[in-house]
Amino acid sequence: MLKNTNLSILLSFLGLWLTSFLKNEAQIIVGFILILSFGIIHGANDLLLIKKINGSEKTTYWKLLFNYISIVLIAVILFSFIPWFAMLLFIIVSSYHFGEQHWENKNTYSSKVATTLFNTIYGLFILLLLFQFHEKEVMTILLGITGINLYYINITLLLKIIGLLLLVFFIYSFYTSKVFQKNLAVELLYLVVFTILFKVGSLIWAFAIYFIFWHSIPSLFDQIKFLFGEVSVENFKAYVKSAFIYWITSIVGIIILYFILKDYKIFDSIFFSFLAAITFPHVFVIERMFHSKNKKTE
């Protein structure tokens, strides 16, 4: 785990270094390439994960598959008819997902409710920190998705409130968990790294670096280990092979959208709506994967 996070820090600062050489347009292009490669593919093997989770229980597998497809359809319907609610739900669910991935191997709470709340607050703090440094761009994207002008929302105030709640959790964890005590200095360092990254990089570039190096790649490692037993070059190839058809289908769909909407400002909004639609069921599957893994280790 420590090796993975050290790699994430190194890659993050490499991304910051490249910021000095890449113009904003180039940052956006490279950022989208990262998101469309590692970002999309890390969620393209959900069906294989479902099969692994349930083993030979075909009835449960088909039930989960039905739930998976239903979640996608519900997300599409919500974004079509109640976009503001869909966007709010997406931010909350994504926050939980980011927090879950970051804290999975160092969870300090025995209560499921406390763990869920902590993961959500941590992930929401990260997202609000990103929004804080790119408020105008974020509001423009939200306007394109929801059709509502949200400039009256005080992101700074929300960041302070969530930051205070996170501080309460940190203090409680410090006095109740020796594991957290050992990791506190490192976790604070990560938050400093995120702050520098989000402040210096453009919105897409900063989001891509965090999303890929701090979420997608660690998630890939966890998925490969769960599916094949260990992380190796051969197992990575096997993962990509099994995910390829779903990944390439997503890429083709996004490319078609781009050529249709490339002259319109709403492409960013459509792109993030697409990410949201596929994120909802992915979060559902990864939560089941971690539950299955932890159950086996009990």
pLDDT tens, 209-218? 999 999 999 9
Amino acid at 284: F
Burial class (CB in 10 A: 0-12, 13-18, 19+), 289: buried
Residues of the chain with pLDDT under 50: none
Containing structural domain, residue 105: 2-297
**Whose CA is closest to 276, among 140, 171, 141, 106?**
141
* Long-range contacts from 65-72, C-beta under 8 angstroms, 24+ separation: 67/281, 67/284, 68/281, 68/284, 68/285, 69/281, 71/280, 71/281, 71/284, 72/277, 72/278, 72/280, 72/281
pLDDT at position 298, please? Answer: 55
How many CB atoms within 10 Å of residue 197?
A: 24
Instruction: Tell me the pLDDT tens digit for each residue of 233-291.
Output: 999 999 999 988 888 887 887 777 667 666 555 566 666 667 777 788 899 899 989 98
Q: How far apart are the first and last CA of the chain?
A: 20
pLDDT at position 105, please? Answer: 75
pTM of the model: 0.89
pLDDT at position 145, please? Answer: 79
Residues 215/185/2/108 CA torsion (nearest 10 deg)? -70
Query: How many Cα atoms sit within 13 Å of 50 on the Cβ side?
Result: 22
pLDDT at position 101, please? Answer: 93
Number of domains in the chain: 1
Question: Which stretches within the chain are classed as H helix?
Answer: 2-19, 24-34, 40-41, 46-54, 58-81, 83-103, 112-133, 135-146, 155-176, 178-200, 203-209, 217-228, 233-261, 267-297
pLDDT at position 148, please? Answer: 82
State the Cα–Cα distance between residues 117 and 100, nearest whole angstrom. Answer: 10
